[in-house]
A and B are shown apart, each in its own frame.
Chain A
């Protein structure tokens, strides 16, 4: 009995910690897919790029020396954010803007095919480019605390739960970034104009908003935030240039679960996926963990297509 309880709590703890990382990733995608309604196939590959940026900041650029190998990996992950923001900003400026925003204004449906093809191409380029540049040997950014754990004694010491320190710190950072971002999108003038520009391009122009700039910032933020999540994960998981494929489906599932267009919802969606994934490990063999995610995902889509937390404001 105690053993079972211990197993469940252990899985819940692992699920929540990992889920917070997923949640951060999903929040990044929700800016692009949920708010801007751009189908970005390359989102996972941008994350991969973020992970390698964090890796090289840590090793080559001396973050390891400056901050030590306990804090260094986390600082590298945070710094990958602004670097990838810039990358996303530029990608939107020169590529994605050709299939979104003011250019298509009225051609909603037709825009999506072009987005699919463009971002799929981008995804392939990033993957093979990554392989040429970084090689295909898995790397990681281990922190000194990656394999240490806090022991939580519950029920008078009968139940012990191990909390991995690196993942706990990563989860805290993820929650903090999500909180800041939700405040920014919800409260700041720039955040509101980003949502307005995504809601209705033409009306945003009639208000005198700089729509293209709003789209560039939204795209950059979406990529940057996901890159931070990737960097944080890299302290626990090794990765290769193809790591994006493993996560991109989780990200889309999380965004849809949380309800398209809701930034905070995407976080809950990601968190839920983490819990399902780790929880299913109690019952299912590891290979079937992702199957469990999809069963739940399909159930939600079937029973509650607006997402678990979806609001139903009509968009035109």
Chain B
């Protein structure tokens, strides 16, 4: 579904991604882990188009994304739940979700998607008319995920959904992601610093360090790797 080949990208001349290749198949749950500044967010931005690659190719469902402007990509079925949540703070929870449903598919299946999303995150139903900027961090993250889902995406990309959350809240979010993946068979690409959880729930994982993929494989393969055990799992 998503094929990235030898991707290079950076900011104003300083390269961040130095040739990244990865692929996400339909229905897969893929995790990308790596230290601060490895380029995980940059990778996501290249996929959704706010960072322009200097070399390499990104194909989504057979379409070369280089030809597709940023604001058109969500309409292909890519939902980006960005790092730091990036809600519309002066819009209500409900209005945030409506903005998610700006795609044709999101509009068509709005009622059904909304019902499902509120099922997964019931607190949002209670807070539907509250301004998103006044919610707690965990609730804001729920809105961010829910807003991605109401676009009825084919691929859900989540950039550190646990960032800044208390452990219990982070676990809740992870549990929901697993549930969402299981119930809807949605393709998920997750970036995380909580490596243990991210690898545990994923079908496959990639380790990104200093702009390069240094390791990839299934949970079993990665967690058997000595470097991963030492650097990320603290074993």
Measuring CB to CB, which residues of chain A are less than 8 angstroms from any residue of chain B?
105, 189, 192-193, 195-196, 199-200, 202-211, 261, 311-316
Besides A199-B89, A208-B74, A314-B89, 14 other A-B contacts (C-beta < 8 A) = A192-B91, A192-B95, A193-B99, A195-B95, A206-B48, A207-B74, A207-B102, A208-B72, A208-B151, A211-B71, A313-B90, A313-B131, A313-B133, A313-B134
B38 close to A (CB within 8 Å)? no
Q: A193-B102, A313-B134 are in contact. Are A206 and B82 (CB under 8 A)?
A: yes
A contact residues around B90 at 8 Å (CB): 195, 199, 261, 311, 313, 315
Cα–Cα distance between A105 and B51 once the two chains are bound (Å): 12
Q: Which of B62-116 contact A (CB under 8 A)?
A: 70-75, 79-80, 82, 86-91, 95-96, 98-100, 102-103
A contact residues around B79 at 8 Å (CB): 206
Q: A196-B88, A202-B50, A208-B102 are in contact. Are A311 and B131 (CB under 8 A)?
A: yes
What 1/0 flags go to B41-53 for Cβ under 8 Å of A? Answer: 0000000111000
User: Are B82 and A203 in touch, CB under 8 angstroms?
Assistant: yes
Closest 3 CB pairs of A and B: A208-B74, A313-B133, A203-B86
Cα–Cα distance between A313 and B90 once the two chains are bound (Å): 6
Can you list 21 A-B pairs with a CB-CB distance of less than 8 A?
A: A193-B99, A195-B91, A196-B88, A199-B90, A200-B87, A202-B50, A204-B88, A205-B48, A206-B79, A206-B86, A207-B100, A207-B102, A208-B71, A208-B72, A208-B102, A208-B151, A210-B71, A311-B131, A312-B134, A313-B133, A314-B133
Q: A192-B95, A195-B91 are in contact. Are A316 and B73 (CB under 8 A)?
A: no
In the complex, the chain B residue whose C-beta lies closest to that of A213 is: B71
User: Are B82 and A202 in touch, CB under 8 angstroms?
Assistant: yes
A contact residues around B89 at 8 Å (CB): 199-200, 313-316
